[in-house]
Amino acid sequence: MSNVLYKQYDPDVLKKFQKVQTEMLKDVLEVCEKYDLPCFLIYGTAIGAVRHKGFIPWDDDIDVGMIRKDYDKLLSVFTKELGEHYELLTPEIDSRYACTVTHVQRKNTVFITEMTKDLKCNCRIFMDIFPFDNVPESESEQNKLLRKSTLYGKLLFLSGSGSPHIPYAGLLYHILHLGCQIIHYGLKLFHITPSFLYKKFKKVSTSFNDVDCEYVTSYEYMGCLKDKVKKADLLPLVKVPFEDITAYIPANNDEFLKKVYGNYMEIPPVEKRVNHAPLVIQFEGEDPIYGE
């Protein structure tokens, strides 16, 4: 498994790729506005919006967040409103997909990375949607929920690939890689599917959504409790320019990004940059483009 998480694009390919993703974002936001579903830029996409008025120059990803009830409503109207050109990808929709993050994918395209090359599902040009769920008040309940969601999330990924990114070298890398391989084939041996693990993950993540809670977070990563946000601080959303369209960021966007990234307005050196290191990109109606 390569440890590469950043690779230089051909500038023309990246520009074209970002244009397709911007069109995808525009289409999703139009549906969200039609149904009054707040949808906001988060993580690196929100940094790009405030620092560059669009994509971070080397980025190849769009991340948006939604409160779970709004996310559920979007999914319920998705096929009707967006099904001609787009498809949803979750382990519940395609049990071969082994990731907690919901993808909106552009039909008739291909986008395969080092991290997704072992997946058997259709991997296309995509944007991510992160549902935000309630965070319990009790610290012990928070930690319990985090342990469970992290466990199911990691097992879910390993059910699809035994070769995750391992940020170590030498003997430790080989030991951890072997452990991941053992878990991967063990899950297959006992027929524990991505769909089963995703349902477990989702049940844990949504377990406090019927309780009145002050904070919400997206349980897709280990830092989710550190990055929890007050529901009252999300709205009203703030309209910002993003490439040649307008999008939205949370009311407390600056506070949230500082919590997650620190000084997010400082451009990181090349060795700390991240993108999806594509192996294959294919635009609609065109021949595939292969990376190194």
- CA–CA distance, 67 with 235 (Å, rounded to integer): 11
Residue count of the chain, please give it. Answer: 292
Task: Report pLDDT for 282.
Answer: 96
Residue 292 confidence class, pLDDT cut points 50, 70, 90: low
Q: What is the pTM of this model?
A: 0.92
CA atoms within a 13 Å half-sphere pointing along the CA-CB vector of 199: 8
Which range (48-52, 140-144, 230-234, 268-272) has the least confidence? 268-272
One-letter amino acid at 16 equals K
Evaluate whether 288 touches 123 at the Cβ level (below 8 Å): no
Domains and CATH numbers, the chain: 11-135+217-290 (3.30.460)
Which phi and psi (to 5°) does residue 164 adopt?
-75, 170
* Residue 5: pLDDT over 70: no
What is the pLDDT, as a whole number, of residue 2?
37
pLDDT confidence band for 164 (50 / 70 / 90):
confident
Of 176, 220, 177, 182, which Cα lies nearest the Cα of 201?
220
Position 114 scores a pLDDT of: 82
Give phi and psi for 181, each to the nearest 5.
-65, -40
Mean per-residue pLDDT, 23-41: 98
The values of phi and psi at residue 212, to 5°, are -75, 105
Question: Which run of H or E residues covers position 112?
Answer: strand 110-113
Place of tokens 């986008």: 111
Q: Between 273 and 89, where is the model more confident? A: 89
> Is the pLDDT higher at 61 or at 5?
61
Spatial CA neighbour of 45 closest among 32, 59, 30 = 59
Residue 218 · residue 234 · CB < 8 Å:
no
Average pLDDT, stretch 36-53? 97
The per-residue pLDDT for 116 is: 85
Phi, psi (deg, nearest 5) at residue 172: -60, -40
For the segment 225-235, the average pLDDT, to the nearest whole number, is 92
- For the segment 110-118, the average pLDDT, to the nearest whole number, is 87
Mean pLDDT of the chain: 93
Q: Model confidence over 170-196: pLDDT tens digits?
A: 998 889 889 999 999 999 999 999 999
* Whole-angstrom distance, CA of residue 114 vs CA of residue 280: 10
Q: With a cut of 80, say whether residue 210 has pLDDT above it.
A: yes
Q: Check residue 201 and give its pLDDT.
A: 97
Q: Is the pLDDT of residue 1 over 60?
A: no
Q: Is the pLDDT of residue 3 over 60?
A: no
Statement: residue 101 has pLDDT above 90: yes
